[in-house]
Chain A
């Protein structure tokens, strides 16, 4: 937030500069009209960068930033890293890219821009309307976050994105030549060691020779202003520009420079590193390498670009020690994770498994089930490997935000399905696994739009032991209850279409009871572990917090089903109905209560959830209204 606040104050200035900087043509020799751009980003995308409290590869930073801006991880079908390189090294061109997603046409209309088909707008388009946007966004920010409507939230999002983008374009402005640093006096150029044939220099060129400038400025203090020569005026102007720029360019993003002081944890953006780096040998070397990256990018020299990147990383590594090295190793896993897209493949495979099952309804062959079983295995393995990589990258259990819980519950449900299939061998487990795997991965994909899903934890969650025990068990409980719900659906349909197959119904019913019991056991354990954790950290075992209540409701619901069954108040069909409704109870506990945005657990809120939840409930009600009377009449006839 601090970063945004400070940029906010100087933004009008910055905005002017973006355009000014972009108009410049940066090179070593001063002539190069269009950037040629490099073709290989392999080294570039693995540069470690500190972002949102975590050291990650630049590739992830690029993906999550682009996702945040445009809702997609690619731009013009090219990887995000290419887009980021363009923004950093050739900002002028990137201003025309239509990357700012504005979901709500009301905003576009109120800004007086024509509604675009892809709902995405370029920086140049929006910049013209910036004053209005800023006014609206500032007004929206004064409203408390829970009282904001969709338009207001969207305004703030777009405004923040615009600000972030404008700071991104400035990341390398210190090596871009700028008229503020024009030097015509040949003697001055010579004294500062700058090439004689060039007139426009960069901040970095001048700042790295600031000591010369300093010496020249000092005698001028005693000299009246009107007696300064043209050369002396130039010196003063340069010094003033230097000061002004150093004051404006602070708190910028892209923290790729690890701290020079080992006691400091926070990393620097190139601009923020400048004042310290210029005083150190390694720092100067790294700045020089950053400059070379930009120059080689413009000249389209792949090899030299790669080399500059590698040398920069090597220099940072050699002075930063083991922490940096470990981050580099984790980054390799993360790059593989980013590229492999295993969750997507797992999702497709789950879908394929379900298709195989659908085919089996028409032609029932054992071979088909074997194929389905194998495909399911591959899907679960891909799912597991991807989850495992997340654990390795973050070094904690994968259950701290809604995205992660969906992935995790999907996997546990699929595994439950595999156990069921292993025992029953009659497609039931395959149905459960494929539906739950596909459904949960699809929901998770919706949450991935929020940006980098590999997030750091707030203090109260920052405990691997409790995350591993409480959160994991409670989510296993969710999975168990959801699986029971899916089996409930199957039982319902079997009761209608296979009314005569008593053996099949009996076995499905047993699985239903088993999974329901499994869900109850783990929900219960998870809730109590949560109570114990709460007692450890907040001082009470139970406090009627919405999330606690949600978990209690799952337990109560399953307990009601079991007791009503023992008391013969409901038939097996009633148990099936209960378990189908159980999914709704789980959804409520899982993320429905987050919609209330009260209480201690209200992390991970997502808009649009309420509507989807309501639609799901409605569908289930419709399903029950149709199937229950039908199943009942058929069962009674027999």
Chain B
């Protein structure tokens, strides 16, 4: 079977070392280009354009392969090579182990690209939460006002891909929402012109307008003009990402809260920030360390943990890192923890270990060989 595969002309072509070299050169160019372009378009955009993409257009015309495509070709090339060209002998052990390690990198990269969830959670001392917020993904959330401060049912749509005339169905609640306008980065205006029947909004916003996207995607604040349809009635609502309060709308005689907010993720634990400490190098303003003392609850069991630089808290597939802190005008300290959910978290560790072992073996074998000669 292997022997017949070895002779397969397609596989033999795919296993060409020219493909390897060309892909590596392309990757080299992409890496350089993607680094330099961060100055103008920022990390997020250049990552999308150069690394996460299959291809992109140079000057709106000439297509250039993106890193995702190049890596897939390299992966196929490597698989083909492992069938046709590799020499499975002890003397080639190092080379084999290196490339086995590289294969696991591809798997790790695939898992990370498609399954990782990154968010953050910001808490005041004493505050508690079981949801984290996305950095730059937004959602349209709808919920019924309740008196219970700890739990509420929320219906939500990811809003980043909203287009005009999209219909969002809230069947359980018995109404539809039609997107009249959606801007990923918007400006809001209050009382720009006194229409007779302005759209509803909690902050008195009467109009939103599109603005250019920011280099840092966290600085984009979307705005939406929506129309709520229920039983033949129609009412317009404006929502803006910077609003801290939801807009209250009465539909079919029931009150609902609508808000555009950063996408929320439910965490498997209830996290409370008990205390936050910051140390500085003596006599300077350079922070030498800062740490959060947290308490987290899972299945009614409470545990305490300290989260600080290079010392995250791990729980199942979740990892909580000390990301930053802020002090507001009332001198209250908020600690921000980055939350990463990634079931392939350990893959790069394995890849690193295997590939380095391969490099070391190969290096030593070569050195030994040379000495024997």
The interface of chain A, by Cβ under 8 A from chain B, is 1-2, 50-54, 255, 265-267, 456-460, 462-463, 466, 510, 514, 517-518, 520-521, 524-525, 528-529, 531-533, 535-546, 549-550, 552-553, 556-557, 559-560, 563-564, 566-567, 569, 588, 593, 596, 598-599
Is there an interface contact between A560 and B282, defined as CB atoms closer than 8 Å? no
- A255 and B28 contact, Cβ closer than 8 Å, known pairs A532-B348, A542-B348, A546-B35: no
> Is B359 engaged at the interface, CB distance under 8 Å to the other chain?
yes
Residues of B in contact, count (CB < 8 Å): 60
- B284 beta carbon closer than 8 Å to chain A: yes
B360 partner residues in chain A, CB cutoff 8 A: 521
Q: How far is the CA of A552 from the CA of B284 in the complex (A)?
A: 35
B17 contacts A566, C-beta separation under 8 Å? yes
Contact code string B86-102 (vs A, CB < 8 Å = 1, else 0): 00000000000000000
- Taking a contact as CB atoms under 8 Å apart, the answer to whether A549 and B24 are in contact is no
B46 at the A interface (CB under 8 A): yes
Q: Tell me if B370 counts as interface (CB < 8 A to partner A).
A: yes
Contact between chains at A532 and B366 (CB < 8 Å): no
Judged by DSSP, the binding face of B is helix
B5 at the interface (CB under 8 A from A): no
Docked complex Cα distance between A224 and B192 (Å): 63
Provide the bound-state CA to CA distance between A514 and B39, in Å.
36
Interchain CA distance A300-B18 in the complex, whole Å:
79
Query: Which of B20, B51, B280, B310 sits near A536, CB closer than 8 Å?
Result: B310
Residues in B neighbouring A540, C-beta threshold 8 A: 112, 116, 118, 340
B285 touches A1 (CB 8 A): yes
Closest chain B CB from A433 CB (angstroms): 19
Chain A, Cβ-Cβ closest to B52:
A544
Q: Chain B 218-233 against A: per-residue CB contact (8 Å), 1 yes, 0 no? A: 0000000000000000
**Given A52-B283, A528-B355, A560-B28, 19 new contacts (CB under 8 A):** A267-B282, A457-B288, A462-B309, A521-B356, A521-B359, A524-B355, A525-B359, A537-B309, A537-B321, A538-B338, A539-B319, A539-B321, A539-B338, A541-B108, A545-B43, A559-B24, A588-B32, A596-B35, A596-B38
Judge whether B315 is part of the interface by a CB distance below 8 angstroms. Answer: no
Chain A residue nearest to B340 in the complex (CB): A539
Contact indicator B312/A456 (Cβ below 8 Å): no
Complex: chain B residue closest to A547, CB-CB: B35
Alpha-carbon distance between A413 and B25 when the two chains are bound, in angstroms? 27
Contacts of B340 in A (CB 8 A): 539-540
A571 to chain B, nearest CB (A): 15
Nearest residue, chain B, Cβ from A569: B21
Contact, CB under 8 Å: A556 / B285: no
Closest CB in chain A relative to B171 CB, distance in Å: 37
Q: In the complex, which of the residues A531, A553, A598 contacts B348, with contact meaning CB atoms closer than 8 Å?
A: A531
Q: Please tell me if the beta carbons of B282 and A544 are within 8 angstroms of each other in the complex.
A: no
- B338 CB to closest chain A CB, in angstroms? 5
Q: How far is the CA of A514 from the CA of B367 in the complex (A)?
A: 8
Contact of A560 among B25, B312, B351, B359 (CB under 8 A): B25
* Residues in A whose Cβ lies below 8 Å from that of B31: 549, 552-553, 556
B36 interface residue (CB < 8 Å to A)? yes
- How far does the alpha carbon of A560 sit from the alpha carbon of B19 in the complex, in Å? 11
Which chain B residue lies CB-closest to A545?
Answer: B43
Min C-beta distance of A148 to chain B, whole Å: 16
From A598, which residue of chain B is reached at the shortest CB distance? B38
Q: When the two chains form the complex, which single residue of B21, B42, B363 contacts A517, counting CB atoms closer than 8 Å? A: B363
Q: List 28 A-B contacts (CB under 8 A).
A: A50-B282, A53-B281, A53-B286, A266-B283, A456-B286, A458-B286, A460-B309, A463-B309, A463-B310, A517-B359, A518-B363, A524-B359, A531-B352, A532-B348, A535-B345, A537-B309, A541-B112, A544-B35, A545-B43, A546-B35, A556-B24, A560-B25, A560-B28, A563-B17, A563-B20, A563-B21, A567-B17, A593-B35
A266 to B352, CA, bound (A): 42
In the complex, are the beta carbons of B363 and A598 less than 8 A apart?
Answer: no
User: Once bound together, how far apart are the Cα atoms of A568 and B25, in whole Å?
Assistant: 16
A residues in contact with B359, CB < 8 Å: 517, 520-521, 524-525
User: Assuming A524-B356, A599-B43, is B24 touching A563 (CB within 8 A)?
Assistant: yes
* Residues of A close to B283: CB separation below 8 A: 50-53, 255, 265-267
Distance in angstroms between the alpha carbons of A201 and B21 in the assembled complex = 81
* B118 near A52: Cβ-Cβ < 8 Å: no
Residues of A within 8 A of B20 (CB): 563, 567
Residues A535 and B281 in contact, CB atoms below 8 Å apart: no
**A596 touching B39, Cβ below 8 Å:** yes
- The chain B residue sitting closest to A564, CB to CB, is B21
A538 lies within 8 A of B286 (CB): no
Is B349 close to A, CB under 8 A?
yes
> Are A544 and B367 neighbours in the complex by a CB distance under 8 Å?
no
- A60–B99 Cα distance when bound, in Å, is 51
- Whether, in the assembled complex, B241 has its beta carbon less than 8 Å from a beta carbon of chain A, the answer is no
Residues of B within 8 A of A598 (CB): 38-39, 42-43
Task: Assess whether B143 is interfacial by the CB under 8 Å rule.
Answer: no
Top 3 A-B residue pairs of the complex, sorted by shortest distance between their CB atoms: A53-B281, A567-B17, A528-B352
Interface residue B66 (Cβ < 8 Å from any Cβ of A):
no
- CB-based contact B38/A546 at 8 Å: yes
Give every chain B residue within 8 A of A50 (Cβ-Cβ). Answer: 282-283
Find out whether the CB atom of B32 lies under 8 angstroms from the CB atom of A456.
no
Q: In the complex, A70→B340 CA distance in Å?
A: 49
Closest to B95 in A: A566
Distance in angstroms between the alpha carbons of A197 and B269 in the assembled complex:
78
Structural contact, B356 and A525, CB atoms closer than 8 A = yes
Q: Mark out the residues of chain B between 46 and 71 whose CB falls within 8 Å of any chain A CB in the assembled complex.
A: 46-47, 51
- CB B227 to nearest CB in A, in angstroms, measures 40
B293 at the interface (CB under 8 A from A): no
* Chain B residues, Cβ within 8 Å of A538: 321, 323, 338
**A544 in contact with B51 given A255-B283, A553-B28 (CB within 8 Å):** yes
On whether the beta carbons of B319 and A541 are closer than 8 Å, the reply is no
Contacts of A518 in B (CB 8 A): 363
Contact of B310 among A54, A466, A560, A566 (CB under 8 A): A466
Question: A528 — nearest CB in chain B belongs to which residue?
Answer: B352
Bound Cα distance from A528 to B34, whole angstroms: 20
Question: Is B289 interfacial (CB 8 A cutoff)?
Answer: yes
Are A544 and B47 neighbours in the complex by a CB distance under 8 Å? yes
Q: A569–B18 contact, CB under 8 A?
A: yes
Chain A residues with CB under 8 A of B177: none
In angstroms, Cα B284 to Cα A174, docked, is 24
Q: Which residue in B21, B38, B351, B362 is a CB contact (below 8 Å) of A599?
A: B38
Q: Does B327 contact A (CB under 8 A)?
A: no
Task: Using known A-B contacts A535-B348, A596-B38, determine if residue A266 contacts B43 with beta carbons closer than 8 Å.
Answer: no
Chain A positions within 8 Å of B256 at CB level: none
Chain B nearest Cβ from A580, distance in angstroms: 16
Q: Write the nearest CB–CB distance from A146 to chain B, whole angstroms.
A: 9
A556/B35 in contact, CB under 8 A: no
**Distance of B370 from chain A, by nearest CB (Å):** 7
Chain B residues, CB < 8 A from A535: 345, 348-349
